């Protein structure tokens, strides 16, 4: 076995049992301390392994390399040889795994030097996000990022092992493909060989995995890269992301649920200290929005939205409540525990947020010395008691109400529910409350055209099949579509696929597509479905989001090696960037100035 000239031992592996050993170490100078002639150096080696870590070096003034090391800046890279010695009880560092020993240095080789750092790598001082992304390699040296990347690698390995044992075949689908008219904006790639034509980076391998089913692959999966030109948010990357893409032939919705529950339970058990239970509960979409104000509820706490339309609508002199039933509106109420003494601006902010959603927001404060807030002056004592009882409010609490269309009235309270759960610590941080949200509506009204649009996935099988498409109002048709949610985060969407051309033709017709448009938009899928495709179903849990959940991170960027910023820019590599005129000529392209505002 060849001898490594830089190191024969990892710094983080040294323990008292190694005292007396001669070792060769390599790493970064994390810190230096000059103590009356003796120089103490904290040497940190590369992370991502169990042996990684830091150890203290001791250098004496008579060492030839002593002046050189004195002059080096922190984060310079050195290789040293020396002997492991025990630290005294008084000088031992219990915060380090190597804190019981140090290395008496005998020789030093400088491997590279560091300039003045843009931010400290060691210590508690935080760096700004822009600096962290611009100098991501320095950010990695601080430890947590590389630890998350190591967890990411273990997750990928576990997924591959588990899926293989469950009979899934890993298949890599194309990165250069055709643009799709559905979903988010595509990233387009101009073709040099075919002037004026473009490839698109896949938003998801949706059509390819369905074509695999048509081709006779029984169970498929891949950790798939996906590309969408969309805005950034905390749980979504603005450019690319990865998902655990899977599809199953001859499968029902319940078959998909079983496989995903097995996978997620194993991931939680082996990669976290959190807990979950199976089977995951099933929640109907409409009921979920009504009870929690969102289709991705945090189920770790019980705070639910109450419908008080029957008890207060039309039964009070307050016009917004009295008129609600006749206008087809709903009255919703939410308990705000211990919120009676919150400042007026907190309640005003809620009312403004509700107004932006097209609903009326109001409130009641149950102060121990009496009720306060707009509703206290407009409802009778009996009505106030009815409202309080509906949500279980006690003195010291507050009650928030909304009046408006059912979904919007609940949604306006959903955000407050989530915020209260976080602020009041209502959720167990070690629990992962997975749930399936099912029975999504197949269609929704387009507010501009008045026509019907697909509300979720156009390739989904409608519940009731062809009969439902022919006989039901489109707004009443449900689809075999489902989301996997956990702790207020949507992890995945999936569906039982519409594999029959006759049902697909009828489904797309309700959304304004004729057969010619279907064929031109999805030619491969449309043609494949005329040659005996099996029924199939699938899903694609977000790989990055799973890791974000396991790591308790509020932003997806913290679990990605080289993320874009909120403006979809790569500050490290300088992308996107301009290209030179020769490249444009080769692609038969020219740049047009953006239209004036």
Length of the chain: 597
Q: How confident is the model at residue 272 (pLDDT cuts 50, 70, 90)?
A: very high
Q: Which residue has the tokens 């999504």?
A: 440
The yes-or-no verdict on residue 160 having pLDDT over 80 is yes
Question: What pLDDT sits at residue 51?
Answer: 65
Share of the chain residues as helix, strand and coil, in percent rounded to the nearest 5: 30, 25, 45
Question: Which CATH code, of 3.30.930.10, 3.10.20.580, 2.170.120.12, 3.40.190.10, is assigned to 146-277+432-583?
Answer: 3.30.930.10
Q: How confident is the model at residue 406 (pLDDT cuts 50, 70, 90)?
A: confident
3-state secondary structure of 276: coil
- In angstroms, the Cα distances linking 375 to 308, 311, 385, 387, 389 are 14, 15, 12, 10, 15
Residues 553-571: what's their mean pLDDT? 90
Q: Which of 259, 312, 273, 223 is nearest to 538 (CA)?
A: 259
Q: Which residue has the tokens 């194993």?
A: 266
Which helix or strand (DSSP H or E) is residue 140 part of?
helix 136-141
Q: For the structural domain made of 301-423, what CATH number should be given?
A: 3.30.1360.30
Which helix or strand (DSSP H or E) is residue 437 part of?
strand 434-441
Question: What pLDDT sits at residue 182?
Answer: 61
Question: What pLDDT sits at residue 570?
Answer: 92
Determine contact, residues 359/404, Cβ cutoff 8 Å: yes
pLDDT in tens, 422-458: 999 999 999 999 999 999 999 999 988 999 999 888 8
Q: Can you read off the two tokens belonging to residue 430? A: 């070690």
Question: What pLDDT sits at residue 540?
Answer: 96
Q: Can you read off the two tokens belonging to residue 11? A: 């710094």
3-state secondary structure of 424: coil
- Residue spans of alpha helices (H) in 12-65: none
Cα atoms in the Cβ-side hemisphere of radius 13 Å centred on 228 = 17
Residues 566-573: what's their mean pLDDT? 91
Find residue 85's DSSP bridge partners: 102
Determine contact, residues 83/20, Cβ cutoff 8 Å: yes
The yes-or-no verdict on residue 1 having pLDDT over 60 is no
560-567, long-range: CB < 8 A, 24+ apart: 560/237, 561/136, 561/140, 561/145, 561/149, 562/136, 563/133, 563/237, 564/232, 564/237, 564/238, 564/239, 565/129, 565/130, 565/133, 565/232, 566/232, 566/238, 567/232, 567/238
pLDDT in tens, 185-204: 899 999 999 999 999 999 99
Question: What pLDDT sits at residue 511?
Answer: 92
Please state, rounded to an integer, the average pLDDT across all residues of the chain: 92
Which helix or strand (DSSP H or E) is residue 481 part of?
strand 478-486
CA distance 536 to 532: 12
Predicted structure pTM score: 0.90
Interacting residues of 220 by C-beta distance below 8 A, sequence separation 6+: 168, 169, 170, 171, 209, 212, 213, 245, 246, 247, 248
Task: Please report, rounded to a whole number, the percentage of residues in the chain having pLDDT higher than 90.
Answer: 79
Question: What pLDDT sits at residue 2?
Answer: 65
Q: Where are the beta strands (DSSP E) in 281-430?
A: 282-284, 306-307, 330-336, 360-367, 370-372, 398-404
CA distance 431 to 487: 8
pLDDT in tens, 310-344: 999 888 888 899 999 999 999 999 999 999 999 99
CA 78 to the chain's CA centroid: 38
Q: Can you read off the two tokens belonging to residue 518? A: 């279907």
CA distance 334 to 292: 10
Q: Can you read off the two tokens belonging to residue 390? A: 């509906």
Comparing 8 with 233, the larger pLDDT belongs to 8
CA distance 211 to 249: 11
Q: Which of 492, 494, 495, 487 is nearest to 292 (CA)?
A: 487
Question: What pLDDT sits at residue 597?
Answer: 61
Residues 108-113: what's their mean pLDDT? 95
Question: What pLDDT sits at residue 48?
Answer: 65
Determine contact, residues 280/434, Cβ cutoff 8 Å: yes
Find residue 332's DSSP bridge partners: 307, 402
CA distance 252 to 553: 33
Domain ranges, ordered by start, for the chain: 11-112, 146-277+432-583, 301-423
Q: How confident is the model at residue 232 (pLDDT cuts 50, 70, 90)?
A: confident
The yes-or-no verdict on residue 117 having pLDDT over 90 is yes
Q: Can you read off the two tokens belonging to residue 489? A: 């985060």
Residue 194: other Cβ atoms inside 10 A: 10
Asked if the domains at 11-112 and 301-423 fall in one CATH topology, the answer is no
The yes-or-no verdict on residue 404 having pLDDT over 90 is yes
CA distance 579 to 211: 36
Q: Where are the beta strands (DSSP E) in 68-218?
A: 77-86, 101-112, 169-170, 188-190, 198-200
**Helices 144-165 and 253-271, interaxial angle, to 10°?**
140
Interacting residues of 406 by C-beta distance below 8 A, sequence separation 6+: 290, 329, 330
CA distance 556 to 491: 12
**Helices 344-356 and 406-423, interaxial angle, to 10°?**
140
Q: Which of 31-40, 146-155, 569-578 has the lowest mean pLDDT?
A: 31-40
Q: Can you read off the two tokens belonging to residue 347? A: 């309640």
CA distance 520 to 185: 18
Q: Annotate 196-259 with DSSP letters as a single string.
A: T-EEE--S-SHHHHHHHHHTT-SEEEEEEEEE-B---BTTB-SSEEEEEEEEEET--HHHHHHH
The yes-or-no verdict on residue 213 having pLDDT over 60 is yes
Question: What pLDDT sits at residue 46?
Answer: 84
3-state secondary structure of 473: coil
CA distance 222 to 245: 5
Fold for domain 11-112? OB fold (Dihydrolipoamide Acetyltransferase, E2P) (2.40.50)
């Amino acid at each position: 076995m060849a001898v490594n000239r830089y190191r024969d031992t990892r710094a983080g592996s040294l323990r008292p049992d190694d005292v007396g050993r001669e070792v060769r170490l390599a790493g970064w100078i994390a810190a230096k301390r000059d103590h009356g002639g003796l120089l103490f150096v904290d040497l940190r080696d590369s992370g991502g392994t169990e042996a990684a870590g830091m150890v203290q070096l001791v250098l004496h003034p008579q060492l030839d390399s002593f002046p050189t090391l004195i002059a080096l800046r922190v984060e310079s890279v050195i290789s040293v040889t020396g002997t492991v010695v025990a630290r005294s009880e008084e000088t031992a560092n219990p915060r380090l795994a190597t804190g019981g020993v140090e290395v008496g240095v005998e020789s030093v080789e400088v491997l590279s030097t560091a300039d003045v750092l843009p931010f400290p790598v060691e210590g508690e001082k935080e760096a700004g996000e822009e600096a962290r992304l611009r100098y991501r390699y320095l950010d990695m040296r601080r430890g947590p990022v590389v630890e998350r990347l190591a967890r990411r690698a273990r997750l990928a390995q576990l997924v591959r092992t588990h899926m293989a044992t469950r009979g899934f075949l890993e298949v890599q689908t194309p990165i250069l493909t055709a643009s799709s008219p559905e979903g988010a904006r595509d990233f387009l790639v101009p073709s040099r060989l075919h002037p004026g034509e473009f490839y698109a980076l896949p938003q998801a391998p949706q059509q390819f995995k369905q074509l695999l089913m048509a081709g006779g692959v029984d169970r498929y999966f891949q950790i798939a890269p996906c590309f969408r030109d969309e805005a950034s948010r905390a749980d979504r990357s603005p450019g690319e992301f990865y998902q655990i893409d899977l599809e199953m032939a001859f499968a029902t919705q319940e078959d998909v649920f079983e496989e995903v529950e097995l996978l997620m339970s194993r991931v939680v058990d082996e990669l976290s200290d959190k807990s979950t239970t199976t089977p995951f509960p099933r929640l109907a979409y409409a009921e979920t929005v009504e009870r929690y104000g969102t289709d991705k509820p945090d189920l770790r706490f019980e705070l639910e939205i109450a419908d008080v339309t029957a008890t207060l609508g039309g039964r009070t002199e307050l016009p917004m409540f009295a008129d609600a039933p006749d206008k087809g509106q709903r009255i919703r109420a939410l308990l705000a525990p211990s919120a009676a003494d919150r400042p007026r601006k907190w309640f005003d902010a809620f009312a403004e947020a509700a107004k932006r959603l097209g609903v009326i927001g109001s409130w009641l404060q149950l102060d121990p010395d009496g009720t306060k807030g707009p509703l206290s002056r407009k409802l009778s004592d009996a009505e106030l008691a009815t409202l309080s009882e509906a949500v279980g409010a006690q003195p010291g609490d507050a009650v928030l109400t909304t009046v408006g269309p059912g979904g919007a009235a609940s949604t306006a309270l959903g955000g407050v529910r989530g915020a209260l759960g976080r602020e009041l610590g209502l959720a167990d941080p070690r629990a992962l409350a997975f749930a399936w949200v099912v029975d999504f509506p197949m269609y929704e009204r387009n507010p501009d055209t008045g026509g019907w649009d697909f509300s979720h996935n156009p390739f989904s099988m409608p519940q009731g099949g062809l009969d439902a498409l022919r006989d039901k109002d489109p707004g009443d048709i449900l689809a075999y579509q489902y989301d996997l949610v956990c702790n207020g985060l949507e992890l995945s969407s999936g569906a039982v696929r519409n594999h029959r051309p006759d049902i697909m033709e009828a489904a797309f017709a309700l959304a304004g597509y004729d057969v010619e448009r279907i064929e031109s938009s999805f030619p491969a899928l449309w043609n494949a479905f005329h040659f005996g495709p099996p029924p199939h179903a699938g899903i694609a849990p977000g790989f990055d989001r799973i890791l974000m959940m396991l790591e308790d991170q509020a932003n997806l960027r913290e679990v990605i090696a080289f993320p874009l910023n909120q403006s979809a820019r790569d500050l490290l590599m300088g992308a996107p960037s301009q290209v030179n005129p020769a490249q444009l000529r080769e692609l038969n392209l020219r740049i047009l100035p953006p239209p004036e505002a």
